[in-house]
Structure 1
Amino acid sequence: MNIVLNKEKIENINSDLELVLIKNKKNLNSKIKKVLDEINFFSSAYNCFASQNEKKLYIYVNDKSNETFKIAFSKALNSVKSYNIDSIKLDIVQLKKELKINNIVEGILLGTYTFNKYLNDKKKNDIKIIISTYNSITKYEDLKKKLAYSLSLSNSVNYVRDIVNSAPEDYYPKVMASDALKIAEDSKINCEVYGEDYLQEVGMNAMYSVGKASRHESQLIHLSYKPKKPKAKIVLVGKGLTYDTGGLSLKRGEGMISMKCDKGGASALLGVMKFLSENDVDIEVHSILGAVENMIGGDAYKPDDVLKTYSGKTVEVTNTDAEGRLVLADCLTYAQKNIKDIDYIFDFATLTGASIGAFGGYTTAVMGYNEKIKKLITKASNKSGELVGFLPFNQFMENKLKSSIADMTNTSSNKNGGAITASLFLSNFIEKENKNKWLHFDIAGPSYRKETWGYNPYGATGCAVRLVVRFLENINK
């Protein structure tokens, strides 16, 4: 999709169709009103109707919320995918309201995304979208900046979708490292990549053990963005399991399908860094990615193993399918050993099915100790449209990870509250000075869905990119 601004009046712009939002029957001529009534147009939100005579594409919205507009644009553009059209125009002022550029762009670009890497018949999706700004009260130059910003953000989300959707045979740890280095070709971004020799040398035994049965070498990736006068410093840590068999605690066959999605956390951070390479933000950002493949074989780590982590703490392995938290444990320790004066430290992972059970699959489960930071996340959630929910810690859950032979186990014998115990495990690797700066984001549900929902397609959603960017905007004020 090619989205452009045009200063002309809407009626003076040539296009195949004009997109018109409708909330009620007011101001409709009697002829089109009759047609819409006959097809029960107003019976359900997001119903679409293309009038060939009027050259208009009508879409029904039942409210004026940001998410409603995004879904509306997504539904409208998808409804005409099979049409032989080259262009669609729309007025930026509709329903007595000036539409936000980001709602238009995100709805269209995120909602019409397709993953066609493995298709021989690659259908083109190059409709030109022309936004008439004639009635806008916002300065044209400001609109241009907002358009560029929104395009960059949406393209970064789709970039992540492409990564997560890619087959594990094509996307393994060294490919993730290669993508990180490509992002770092921009002068704003620096990238350091470490292999398994480094992991063994410094004692990152938890991360090393998870990946040692794979023919693909594990990669520790450190991307950094350092503006001259940063207002804050944030560290982002991502789980990058490019494929997860479950290890010797082998997943069932159906449970292994779509495990390419287990790289969603680290992939999202690649998207964030891609966005930062294209935009100026006054926040220092470090992204630590643990890129690993969890396989089976004679070299695989085993249940009953005791691993000495980079922090020095020991972990009794009770389930090799709880591998993501082991990778994150060492990556969190690496971050705190190598980056000082941290203001925020967040980790992102497709970590537990329990988080899906808790929130239904469309919501990121967030856990941590600082209520003020949680409020900032709620604000970022509202602005980005990405749903978040918070799960509470308590002293009784902390006891579920006790081991008789090591400092802790990597899973609880009691499966209840699995998202919480996983987060509590990670909290053991957050230094005391950083406890109130840390949040854990379990994106297992919204990162990858086997269905179309809202303006998200089947498969990878690019979850967490917009949430993090909106959070950076909040602390940048």
Structure 2
Amino acid sequence: MKISNSHQKGEVKILFIKDKKISQLTKTQKDTLSLLGFEGIGNIFIPENKTFVIGIDKSLQDFPNTLRDSLAQAIMSLKKLKIKSISLEAQSLQEIKEICEGILLGNYTFDTFKNEKNKSNLKEVYIHAPTLDKKAVDSLIAQIQIIANSVNTTRELINTPPMEATPEYIVNFVKNLSKEIGFECKVHNTQFLEKEKMGAFLAVSKASCHNPYLVHLTYKPKTSKKSNLKKFVFVGKGLTYDCGGLSLKPSDYMTTMKADKSGACAVIGIVDSLARLGIEAEIHGILGLTENMIGGNAYKPDDILIARNGKSIEVRNTDAEGRLVLADCLSYASDLKPDFLIDLATLTGACVVALGDYTMGIMGYNPKLKEDFLKIASSAGELGGILPFNPYLKKLYKSEVADLCNIPSSRYGSAITAGMFLGEFVAESLLQKWLHLDIAGPAYVEKSWGVNPFGATGAGVRACIEFVKQKA
């Protein structure tokens, strides 16, 4: 769908109503809305003069996603009409940003494997912003289209089923993407993992028929006005499927485990967008790609693994595998000595219990960095909640036979203890520069919400892009 800054009138005009104020409507329109029982909240189409009314609830006007969500809901209804274009007015750049995101993110559906595709005649959106600078509007629309396309690419990767989206599939996808955009893509195989002594990562991978990969993406601007570029490193958990290993998941919990690669896919989306935007910063993406399966050679509860940084890990549950893959990836990422280190992972169900389906957990040792990220994520349209690290919880993942245990001795606060476990593999000099984002809740939800359709959402992509833009 193409969005442009234009005075051109679409076949249908979008009209916003806030706080049930319908004074801007004609008497005929008011009479029609009254006849249809419209009370000023929600969406409704007036066929007589081809006007689509979006009523915004006053109680939600201060919520950062209200306009985005309203447009996303509207676009689903508008796609059912036999129209090719719509038009609407905007009063500020922020309003334009939210309108574009609502339309472009709300327009996505995953129908790749359906014979009957979702059809729509709607192709053009005209935004009329007479009081704003044309160049600024054009630039913003172009940026939002890049970011939204990256989010939708992330969604498509996550939604692709595990029979197709294997570690090799993700590797080939990102290799082709790197050639298209022009960033560096280094693919490291089992031999590299062995050479780097990534015993935790390798253990998780043992029972899969698909080889594991550590993929290192690097973007640097070809020319820059800055003498010292900030360095951002993003690490993503990429379990293309997770059955739980020998600590086998119940069958109901295996459904949606294709989404256990959401962290790695988000990192791909982040690098994709930042490279296309030409951001003046050095960006690295580290993907830990593998499967957690069962077999005679699977790693077992009671095994003791040696991670890349030399720490030993007692395995008590093979379904706590994401933190083992990330442990070695974070150790590798630490060697890059970044200004900011952020990992993204569908790590714990406990985070979903704590914050609900729609909110990512933000963790780390630097209070200001956590607060900054939370504020930036909110401005980008993503919900987050800070879960505080507690030094008293550290003893819960200590082991009698190794340096650490991969699960805590108590289930209480286990989203936090999982995050603290990851911190054991971040270089001490980087702990104040590190954030852990647990996206287990919002990454994949089997019910549409806000700008997100059924399935994958691309959680973390917009928040991290905005973070780089503000911190670079």
Structure 1 residues not aligned, in runs of 5+: none
Equivalent residues of 1:41, 1:60 under 8 A apart: no
CA distance in 1, matches of 2:4, 2:192: 48
Q: Does 1:112 align with 2:107?
A: yes
Aligned twin of 1:33: 30
Query: Contact 1:183/1:277 (CA < 8 Å) preserved in 2?
Result: no
Q: Residue 362 of structure 1: SS of its match in structure 2?
A: coil
1:312 and 2:310 aligned = yes
Q: Which residue of 1 aligns with 2:86?
A: 88
1:437-456 to 2 correspondences below 5 Å: 437-456=433-452
**SS of the counterpart of 1:221?**
strand
Q: How does 1:47-196 map to 2 (within 5 A)?
A: 47-63=42-58, 64-65=61-62, 66-93=64-91, 100-133=95-128, 135-186=129-180, 188-196=182-190
By how many angstroms is 1:263 displaced?
Answer: 0.3
Q: 2: distance between equivalents of 1:124 and 1:87?
A: 15
State the Cα distance separating 1:126 from its structure 2 match.
4.9
Deviation, 1:343, is 0.9
CA shift for structure 1 position 174: 1.0
Match of 1:335 among 327, 333, 338: 333
Q: Does 1:386 align with 2:370?
A: no
Q: TM-score, normalised by structure 1?
A: 0.94
Q: Choose from 404, 407, 415 the match for 2:403.
A: 407
Distance 1:194 1:3 in 2: 40
Residue in structure 1 matching 2:14, options 19, 36, 48: 19
In 1, are the aligned partners of 2:446 and 2:455 still within 8 Å (CA)? yes
For the residues of structure 1 that align with 2:192 and 2:230, how far apart are their CA atoms? 29
Q: How many angstroms apart in 1 are the aligned matches of 2:85 and 2:24?
A: 25
Superposition deviation, residue 186 in structure 1: 4.3
Q: What amino acid sits opposite 1:2 in the alignment?
A: K
**C-alpha separation in 1, matches of 2:463 and 2:248:** 33
User: How far apart, in 1, do the equivalents of 2:212 and 2:375 lie?
Assistant: 36
Contact 1:101 1:150 in 2 (8 A): no
Alpha-carbon separation, structure 2, partners of 1:99 and 1:161 = 24
Distance in 2 separating the partners of 1:302 and 1:236: 29
Deviations 1:115-169 (A, max 9, x none): 0110001123451333243x52222122111111000000100000000000001
Aligned-partner SS, 2:39: helix
288 and 124 in structure 1: CA distance in 2 versus 1, 3 angstrom threshold:
same
Paired residue for 1:360, among 356, 378, 385? 356
Shift of 1:351: 0.2
- Aligned residue number for residue 279 of structure 2: 281
Using the TM superposition, give the Cα deviation of residue 40 of structure 1 relative to its aligned residue in structure 2, in angstroms: 3.2
- Paired with 1:382 and 1:261, the residues of 2 have a C-alpha distance of 23
Name 2:210's counterpart in structure 1: 216
Q: Distance in 2 between matches of 1:310 and 1:367?
A: 23
- Please report how far the alpha carbon of residue 286 of structure 1 lies from its aligned counterpart in structure 2 after TM superposition: 0.8
Q: Aligned equivalents of 1:296 and 1:290: distance in 2? A: 19
1:180 Cα shift? 1.8
d(CA) in 2 for partners of 1:187 and 1:104? 27
**Paired letter, 1:107:** G
2:237 maps to 1:239: yes
Could you say if the C-alpha distance between residues 98 and 280 of structure 1 is closer, same or farther in structure 2, counting changes exceeding 3 Å?
Answer: closer
Distance 2:93 2:246 in 1: 56
Contact 1:88–1:129 (8 Å) recurs in 2: yes
Identity rate, percent: 40
Deviates further, 225-234 or 351-360: 225-234
**Does 2:268 match 1:270?**
yes
Counterparts of 1:449 and 1:212, CA distance in 2: 29
- How far did 1:248 drift? 0.2
Q: Does 1:397 pair with 2:393?
A: yes
Query: What amino acid does structure 1 have at the position aligned with 2:417?
Result: T
List 4+ stretches of structure 1 deviating above 4 A: 63-66
Q: In 2 relative to 1, CA 99–354 (structure 1 residues): closer, same or farther, beyond 3 Å?
A: closer
1:225 corresponds to: 219
Task: Give, as a single letter, the amino acid of the residue that structure 1 aligns with 2:110.
Answer: F
TM score, norm. by length of structure 2: 0.95
Deviations 1:17-75 (A, max 9, x none): 111111212222222212223333226x3x22211111111111124454111111111
Deviation at 1:187, TM superposition (A): 5.9
Cα deviation digits, residues 276-327 of structure 1 (max 9, x gap): 2211211211110000100000111000000011111000000000000000
Task: Give a deviation string over 1:197-226, Cα, whole Å, max 9, x none.
Answer: 111122111111101111110010000112
Q: Distance in 2 between matches of 1:251 and 1:90?
A: 49
Alignment match, 2:455: 459
Query: How many matched pairs?
Result: 463
Give the secondary-structure state (helix, strand or coil) at the position aligned to 2:83. Answer: coil
Distance 2:343 2:93 in 1: 37
Aligned to 2:195: 201
In structure 2, the gaps of 5 or more residues are none
The 8 Å contact of residues 153 and 275 in structure 1, kept in 2 or not, is answered as: yes
Mapped to 1, the partners of 2:297 and 2:115 lie a distance apart of: 38
Secondary structure of 1:365's aligned partner: strand
Counterpart of 1:4? 4
Shift of 1:194: 0.7
Counterpart contact for 2:82–2:121, Cα < 8 Å: no
* Residue in 2 that maps onto 1:293: 291
CA separation of 1:126/1:289 partners in 2, compared to 1, >3 Å: closer, same or farther? Answer: farther
Distance 2:161 2:300 in 1: 26
Give the Cα–Cα distance (whole angstroms) in 1 for the partners of residues 207 and 420 of structure 2.
Answer: 27
